[in-house]
Structure 1
């Protein structure tokens, strides 16, 4: 979000339409006569605002004051498998997560397909007996019940994307079905309230990592430290015009879902399951 204007997406679209020259012949004749030649004037290129090298936020809205002074001392290594669509999102959480941890403890790989030939290091990690993948499902063990007494450091893989993107990455990459599959049990509702989640129990990548690390490192302070910049980000956005996004589950149950219902039977069935509290 642009800090100077703090426009909503709709307002930005309106502004863009105002700045885009109309096609020839679309203006009334009296207006087109006065505008003759204006469309040929050079347009000055727009420069990106200076970006903070640590939190990856524009410098005017830097969140570094809410980050730990020094990276957290953890033995667990995170591998974030990020869908390409997440890379350019303005309000993404992975840069904040990475800023809380040492560089060698948070590695981000961007893509949709991960073959063993192209990613030999990742393949080796997936085959390590101390590697876990955080992906909820019928076969997932509860992370709280895993024994972490091994002397070797653990690795946890987290897929970053929407739920449909994460599902696509998980099932179309055989490497990710090699590690032990785990999930976190928590009563925590997502604090990432500026983005819509499918259900009330869905958490952002940063929140999942914070909970997982606090369990694996046996230190609740880790969770509090990693969540702090996310809380600051959401607070700032809400103070400057952003709206609280309730989950799709909440909107459907309370009759507040204002979008057309999908015609696709599979998607419609998923919505019915959300309303009936069936895990999907």
Structure 2
């Protein structure tokens, strides 16, 4: 028997599959993951990948010549947006108008630290012409077991949850956050006494 789960890739002891719920979404997520994130035991992109059947997941740094991604981007039945708070980024309400008109939408998430996500965007020339979409600035993350540059920094699964919920308020995407919170609580319980308080509550 393998030490690792064939579905989530985590060790059998830390398997998150028992917390995953399959969800449907009219908005498709395209997750572009930096290679440094693939083996992180507390990475959250896998929750989106496992929960959303119509999500797309690719690993790399420069996606300019990525065949599968370029095939998606060439599908003109979809409007493609990058979730990134750059200049001129659209609000969720502006993008939701397209859904209200029956148009199809894909949102690209860059999975990496801010520095690495920016580098991914810089290198991937095929992303430069795509419009940006941003989340409200008052959202706060709950990624308690990973250092964040600010209180409103979000993990990838939190960002995915919020953008899907804002674009499709009639759908319940809370199982994404529930799976995330269960994973966090499990990891905290594995830490020696006092480690979480010393390293993450200061």
What TM-score results when the alignment is normalised by the length of structure 2? 0.85
1:108 Cα deviation after fit: 1.0
Aligned equivalent of 2:160 = 209
| Equivalent in 124, 131, 140 of residue 74 of structure 2 | 124
List runs of 5+ in structure 1 lacking aligned partners: 1-47, 248-255, 257-280
Preserved contact between residue 27 and residue 164 of structure 2 (Cα < 8 Å): yes
Aligned equivalent of 1:113 = 62
Query: How far apart in 2 are the matches of 1:246 and 1:143?
Result: 32
Q: Relative to 1, partners in 2 of residues 1:196 and 1:128: Cα closer, same or farther, differing over 3 Å? A: farther
Query: How far apart in 2 are the matches of 1:172 and 1:63?
Result: 33
Q: Relative to 1, partners in 2 of residues 1:198 and 1:49: Cα closer, same or farther, differing over 3 Å? A: farther
For the pair shown, the structure with the greater C-alpha radius of gyration is 1
Deviation >6 Å, runs of 4+: none
Query: How far apart in 2 are the matches of 1:157 and 1:135?
Result: 9
Aligned equivalent of 1:233 = 183
Query: How far apart in 2 are the matches of 1:246 and 1:238?
Result: 10
Q: Relative to 1, partners in 2 of residues 1:239 and 1:128: Cα closer, same or farther, differing over 3 Å? A: same
What TM-score results when the alignment is normalised by the length of structure 1? 0.63
Aligned equivalent of 1:143 = 92
Q: Relative to 1, partners in 2 of residues 1:238 and 1:141: Cα closer, same or farther, differing over 3 Å? A: same
Q: How many residues get paired?
A: 195
1:65 Cα deviation after fit: 2.6
Aligned equivalent of 2:11 = 58
Query: How far apart in 2 are the matches of 1:64 and 1:115?
Result: 33
Alignment of 1:1-280 (within 5 A): 50-68=3-21, 71-102=22-53, 105-116=54-65, 118=67, 119-124=69-74, 130-146=79-95, 147=97, 148-185=99-136, 187-219=138-170, 221-222=172-173, 224-241=174-191, 243=196
Q: Relative to 1, partners in 2 of residues 1:99 and 1:226: Cα closer, same or farther, differing over 3 Å? A: same
Preserved contact between residue 77 and residue 104 of structure 2 (Cα < 8 Å): no
Preserved contact between residue 78 and residue 103 of structure 2 (Cα < 8 Å): no
Preserved contact between residue 133 and residue 157 of structure 1 (Cα < 8 Å): yes
| RCO higher in structure (CA 8 A, sep ≥6) | 2
Query: How far apart in 1 are the matches of 2:159 and 2:178?
Result: 14
Q: CA RMSD in A?
A: 2.4
Q: Relative to 1, partners in 2 of residues 1:166 and 1:117: Cα closer, same or farther, differing over 3 Å? A: closer
Query: How far apart in 1 are the matches of 2:106 and 2:5?
Result: 28
1:226 Cα deviation after fit: 0.5
Query: How far apart in 2 are the matches of 1:206 and 1:168?
Result: 20
